[in-house]
Amino acid sequence: MRSKRKNPFVRLCSVMAGIVLLCAVYHPAFAAQAEKPSKWWQKTIAYEIYVKSFKDSDGDGTGDLRGILSELDHLKNLGVGAIWLTPCFVSPQKDNGYDVANYYDIDPAYGSMEDMENLIEEAKKRKIRIVLDLVFNHTSNENEWFQESRSGRDNEKSDWYIWKDPGKDGNAPNNWRSIFGGSAWTYDEERGQYYLHTFLPEQPDLNWANPEVRRALIDVADFWVEKGVGGFRLDAITYIRKPEDFSDGKPDAGDGTVGIHAMTANTDGILDYLGEFKAAVQDGTDIFTVGEANGVSADELPEWVGPDGVFDMVFEFSHVSIDVADEMNWCKTRSWTLPELKACFTASQKTTESTGGWYPVFLENHDQPRSISHFLPEGADRVAGGKALATLVLTMRGTPFIMEGEELGFVNVSWDDIEDYQDISTRNHYQFALDEGYSEEEAMEGVHHFARDSARTPMQWDQSENAGFTEGTPWLPVYEDYSVYNVDSEMADPKSVLNWYLTLSRLRGEHEELVTGSYEELFHDDEQIFAYTREKDDKKAVILINFSAQEASYDDACIEGARLLLSTNENNVKGRLAPFEAAIYQAAA
Ligand code: TEU
């Protein structure tokens, strides 16, 4: 079942390093780089909270804003200065809040507007800013905007969504397949037309071509800036501009459909919309923006995040997609090597650096597998492995983004029954595999690898029932390992993953070169070690991480005369790394 098909993201990475160098030489932004002032969000650590799973304050089994408020000190300890909250606006929760029915209010399951205002204020007192997740490619079908739009063809919002007449024989207008599976079109009886949805039928796409829609979205963002938020993550932003041509695409699946990503991601002209949004919302404020930019390649990064870019940072996906052979078919994975993974990071590190842009360093988010399960060999020691990966996230150039639980060493869940998985996309992918003829066992293997639920199990606070997440029944089972992997126990254990995060966070605060220093990869072809330097003025750090369960050796000329700052191995020896050891040396630049 393993596919050898070359992943386009990875292929791209291999050629990017060369393009980067050219950009560095010719891009006018390069000259401006040295003068770029350091912003608050460049110096801090960001932390993603999956609101539903972080902390429940009222016993209903669902995390909420008051729960977050009660745990701000954990984040303060970690050195977090920005909290990205997954959407907590009013929503029917078909996609856990990524289907917004009202952008101007908080979903009662998560609290009230007052709770949000309190959270923003209390966080500020701890020098932490709240970052909201703006889902602007689509709304919920229960949003009033959509309700009005579907009510006929001549209401004020009739053109706020993407409506098309049926194609031949009353079928969908074209063969595009949504990202969660099934046609990207749903017929609406009331209006007598099909509407487009990149994701679920309950998530109709907004029509950004309509200036009134863009204005309405700017108003939403302004409303939250006024409330004092520190920034925004812009969800699925590469899909907002649709092409002129809505004809069929070349099928990429047995059922004659083509994934919508290939048809609509990063359509020409998208930067005009985003530039307009930036000028209207962000200019004159100190907020930051980070776009979820699946479909933007490294050579395009300067336009997106360079000094005149439309965002401050964008999440690009080459490294997390390294094992994806077919987005829709989770039973096909692609085998990969460490040099390929390094190439992905190096390409985005160098491109953003050489064009004066900034990068959000991440290995996990709420859509991705847990990083220990994703990037380390099966059976890897969780504590050593978790520390190795933490070292990467906290020593690359950019703002580290930590997913809740990552700091405790969480791994993927492998439940036996598909019914235990709540995420609709997980269930759809499972069904797709069965439809393609895979056995239930094979389909479950794909789920164990890719299910988004793995990143969404409740946060583990202590050894009490349900890991201190809730006094009720958690909406998703707490992972069975909670008596060992929880905040209380790990705080008390100097050798825990959590304490390693705290140590790295302090080190980062003390070493400017780890934040803004230039990045240079070492030992590219080494299959075990990921190594690089970070250099600024007369300071140079050398970072060496063993990604394998075997001891690894390297040429120690790169650390000659250098001083060991930190290692996960008490018996660290120059020239050798223990299994999963991570070491940071300080060398003279
Ligand atoms: O995700 C958009 C998206 O494109 C991802 O599902 C992407 O395909 C995947 O991460 C690639 O590995 C965003 C949200 O993060 C996700 O939770 C939502 O379900 C989705 O948008 C719809 O709003």
Contact residues for 360 (Cβ-Cβ < 8 A; gap 6+): 46, 290, 313, 314, 315, 398, 399, 400, 401
pLDDT tens-digit map of 303-353:
999 888 999 999 999 999 999 999 889 999 999 999 999 999 999 999 999
In a domain, 488, yes or no: yes
Confidence of residue 37 (pLDDT cuts 50, 70, 90): very low
* Final residue in a domain of this structure, among 442, 471, 502: 502
Q: Is residue 151 part of a domain?
A: no
277 inside domain: yes
- pLDDT at residue number 301: 87
Using CA atoms, how far residue 435 sits from 4, 34, 251, 428, 441, in Å, is 22, 55, 17, 10, 14
pLDDT category at 19 given cuts 50, 70, 90 is very low
Tokens linked to 480: 């069975």
pLDDT of residue 442: 97
How far does residue 279's CA lie from ligand 1's centre (Å)? 26
What pLDDT score does 168 carry?
Answer: 84
Query: What percent of the chain lies above the pLDDT cut of 70?
Result: 94
Position 3 pLDDT exceeds 70: no
Question: Which residues are identified as catalytic?
Answer: 235, 292
Average pLDDT, the chain: 93
User: Counting beta carbons within 10 angstroms of the beta carbon of residue 23, is it exposed (0 to 12), middle (13 to 18) or buried (19 or more)?
Assistant: buried
Specify whether the CB–CB gap between 124 and 228 falls below 8 A. yes
- Which H or E run includes 136? none
Minimum CA distance residue for ligand 1 atom 23? 98
pTM assigned to the model? 0.94
> In this structure, is residue 537 part of a structural domain?
yes
Q: Express as a percent the part of the chain with pLDDT over 90.
A: 90
Q: Is the pLDDT of residue 299 over 60?
A: yes
For residue 514, the model assigns a pLDDT of 97
What secondary structure letter does DSSP report for 513?
H
Pocket around ligand 1 at a 6 A CB cut-off: 95, 98, 135, 179, 199, 235-236, 292, 294, 317, 320-321, 366-367
Distance between CA 293 and CA 123 in Å, rounded? 28
* Ligand 1 pocket test, candidate residues 235, 240, 363, 453, most atoms within 8 A of CB: 235
26 lies in some domain = yes
Q: How far is the C-alpha of 346 from the C-alpha of 359, rounded, in Å?
A: 12
Half-sphere exposure of residue 312, counting CA atoms within 13 Å on the CB side? 23
Q: Candidates 86, 99, 140, 367: which one to mutate for ligand 1, based on the most atoms within 8 Å of Cβ?
A: 367
Residue 493 shares a structural domain with residue 540: no
Mean pLDDT of 29-42: 58
User: Can you tell me whether residue 252 is helix, strand or coil?
Assistant: coil
Looking at the structure, tell me whether residues 414 and 524 fall in a common domain: no
- Closest-CA residue, ligand 1 atom 6, reads 367
The rounded Å distance from CA 76 to ligand 1 centre is 28
270 plus 406 within the same structural domain: yes
Same domain for 371 and 291, yes or no, is yes
The residues, any chain, with a CB within 8 Å of residue 226's CB and separated by 6 or more, are none
532 and 484 within one domain = no
> How far, in Å, is the centroid of ligand 1 from the Cα of 589?
41
Look at residue 21 in the predicted model and tell me its pLDDT.
36
Residue 519: which CATH number?
2.60.40.1180
Examine the pLDDT at 35 and tell me if it is beyond 90.
no
Q: Judge whether residue 33 has pLDDT over 60.
A: no
485 and 341, same structural domain?
A: yes
- Closest approach atom of ligand 1 to CA 238: 4
pLDDT digit string, tens, across residues 508-522: 999 999 999 999 999
Classify 100 as helix, strand or coil.
coil
pLDDT at 306: 84
- Distance (Å) from CA 408 to ligand 1 centroid: 24
| Rounded mean pLDDT, 358-380 | 97
Is there a single domain that holds both residue 284 and residue 217?
yes
| Residue 438 shares a structural domain with residue 531 | no
485 shares its domain with 539 = no
Strands (E) located in 276-398: 288-292, 313-315, 360-361
Contact 567, 582 (CB under 8 A): yes
> Which CATH number characterizes residue 401's domain?
3.20.20.80
Phi, psi at 331, each rounded to 5°:
-80, -15
CA 324 to ligand 1: nearest atom: 12
The total number of residues written for the chain in this structure: 589
Pocket perturbation via mutation, ligand 1, pick of 52, 98, 205 by most ligand atoms within 8 A of CB: 98
- Beta strands at 582-588 and 539-546: parallel, antiparallel or unpaired: antiparallel
Residue 89 lies in a domain: yes
Best CA proximity match to 260, nearest among 280, 246, 244, 276: 246
Whether 393 and 45 have beta carbons less than 8 Å apart is answered as no
The string of DSSP letters for 188-206 reads ETTTTEEEE-SS-TTSPBB
pLDDT tens digits for range 454-512: 999 999 999 999 999 999 999 999 999 999 999 999 999 999 999 999 999 999 999 99
Domain end: 502, 533, 550, which one? 502
* Structural domain containing residue 538: 514-588
Of 474, 502, 530, at which residue does a domain stop? 502
Q: How many structural domains does the chain have?
A: 2
For 580: left if phi > 0, alpha if psi spans -120 to 50, otherwise beta; the answer is left
In the numeric block, which tokens belong to residue 389? 């990966």
pLDDT digits (tens, 9 = 90+) for 263-295: 999 999 999 999 999 999 999 999 999 999 998
Are 498 and 556 members of one domain?
no
Please identify, by atom number, the ligand 1 atom nearest to the C-alpha of residue 452: 17
Residues 461 and 488 in one domain: yes
Q: Please identify, by atom number, the ligand 1 atom nearest to the C-alpha of residue 366.
A: 17
* Residue 193 within any structural domain of the chain: no
Reduced to 3 states (helix: H, G, I; strand: E, B; else coil), residue 435 is helix
User: Computed from CA positions of residues 378, 373, 584, 496, in that sequence, does the dihedral angle turn out positive or negative?
Assistant: negative
**Contact indicator for 184, 260 with CB cutoff of 8 Å:** yes
179 within a domain of the structure (yes/no): no
Q: 450 and 544: one domain? A: no
Question: Which structure tokens are listed for 213?
Answer: 């829609």
Question: What is the C-alpha separation between 392 and 388, in angstroms, rounded?
Answer: 7
Instruction: Supply the residue whose CA is at minimum distance from atom 1 of ligand 1.
Output: 236
Query: 82-114, pLDDT tens digit by residue?
Result: 999 999 999 999 999 999 999 999 999 999 999
What confidence score (pLDDT) does residue 14 get?
43
